[in-house]
Structure 1
């Protein structure tokens, strides 16, 4: 005989899992078929369901109540994926600011992974961040956090309040602040380079500063970024720790 409580619990767990997988940049890669992502969510739901407190088969309002419960689980998964998206976009924003200052912005091409126009350094930093995150088992950390979410936010128990709204706004604004901090050293060097080229142009008008400026800024910008790459590992570690902390704060706020 079918256990309706177990089937209902599994379905709600599966909905939250799949929503997170389709929203998190680490798993939501457009090149991966949707069936593979759904299959990953299905396998994770099978593993996690025995650890989750069973959901009741009777919902207030009948079918409408069950529909609201599904929407609630979708919202929790999407909220967790949205926070992950914010932090991975920090690197994209920092790279685009660098490309704009260096002069690579005109080389922007359509990136099928993000579905938007991305520049050279932006894509390079983003892929490097993904590799570092995989190297420190960040994908396992996200799966553990998702499994932990069923303890902090039981099925059908999620709620939205003013604190959650303020938290998401704070995370959104922090992404821009972190992006500016990451690219600030290189941008400062490029600004000094621009000022130096302007002074040279005033003292030696016969030089074509506009023509010399493009290759010089590329050399200076790329060289400065190469020298700063070892130091960026500590920045990435701070970024990952902040991501995990904010995921925990979000789950506590949704409870």
Structure 2
């Protein structure tokens, strides 16, 4: 009975992370796969995680411990989702600036309409993240979190919420950095088209402005592909760094 309780407590933090993370928590990943991953990885964790004796702990205190474990895992997954959303935000604004905002399809992860450019950049980030062994770093980082924040140690809810809020600000900042080169050039193209249309009112803006804007978008994206790849690679490493820093912030908070 004690073994089952300890194993269940170890799996709570991991299971909450897998459910809320953008990689393992995607709708395309079946629930059975997530449950199996939680079971297998928790079995690997169990021998190296120090679990206090909670067998004689009062029921309400045990519920509090379980809630803290779930909250830690959910916070890690939410932080990852927010950082991944910075690329989606950049893609959405690039598509809107280039006239491709209408080119949207259903995102299998969120279930809503998402511009194709946004989905393309998100897949780009996911590929770079996996190629950098980000998924393995997450599993390793979560294992180290049991040493940083031992099971049963109270965690400040204020520190959790403040960290998530700070990362939310980082999302807009990173999204602006990614989209700024493309959006700036498209803004200049639109200003030029507006000046030409103002100078020659007889010209029909929609007859040449929209195709010209889309052509400029494709040309700029082609030129920007290599710098964008380096930027997304840096973002993938930064995501791993933030995830590992999260547990130190929660411990000191």
Tell me the alpha carbon deviations over residues 100-119 of structure 1, each in whole angstroms, 9 at most, x when there is no partner: 11111123232122222200
Does the 8 Å CA contact 1:158/1:254 hold for their aligned counterparts? Answer: no
Which deviates more, 109-118 or 156-165?
156-165
Measure the CA separation in 2 of the matches of 1:252 and 1:14. 21
TM-score, length-scaled by structure 1:
0.93
Residue segments in structure 1 that go unaligned for 5+ positions in a row: none
Q: Secondary structure at the match of 1:118?
A: strand
Q: What is the correspondence of 1:67-86 to structure 2 with a 5 Å cutoff?
A: 67-86=63-82
Tell me the alpha carbon deviations over residues 135-192 of structure 1, each in whole angstroms, 9 at most, x when there is no partner: 1111111111111111111112140154443322111101101101100011011110
State yes or no: 1:17 paired with 2:14.
Answer: yes
Tell me the alpha carbon deviations over residues 18-66 of structure 1, each in whole angstroms, 9 at most, x when there is no partner: 1100110011121222111011010000000100002212465x12221
State yes or no: 1:36 paired with 2:33.
Answer: yes
Measure the CA separation in 1 of the matches of 2:62 and 2:205. 67
Q: Which residue does the alignment assign to 2:193?
A: 197
Measure the CA separation in 2 of the matches of 1:132 and 1:192. 31
TM-score, length-scaled by structure 2:
0.94
The partner residue of 2:4 within 4, 7, 19 is 7
Q: Which residue does the alignment assign to 2:135?
A: 139
Q: What is the correspondence of 1:112-151 to structure 2 with a 5 Å cutoff?
A: 112-151=108-147
Residue-pair matches, total: 251
Measure the CA separation in 1 of the matches of 2:223 and 2:6. 52
**1:97 to partner: Cα distance:** 0.5
Cα RMSD (Å): 1.5
Q: Which residue does the alignment assign to 2:93?
A: 97
State yes or no: 1:251 paired with 2:215.
Answer: no
Measure the CA separation in 2 of the matches of 1:164 and 1:28. 20
Q: Secondary structure at the match of 1:109?
A: strand
Does the 8 Å CA contact 2:92/2:114 hold for their aligned counterparts? Answer: yes
Measure the CA separation in 1 of the matches of 2:112 and 2:154. 32
Q: Secondary structure at the match of 1:105?
A: coil
Measure the CA separation in 2 of the matches of 1:113 and 1:215. 31
Measure the CA separation in 2 of the matches of 1:17 and 1:57. 19
Q: Which residue does the alignment assign to 1:26?
A: 23
Q: Secondary structure at the match of 1:32?
A: coil
Which deviates more, 39-48 or 65-74?
65-74
Q: Secondary structure at the match of 2:47?
A: helix
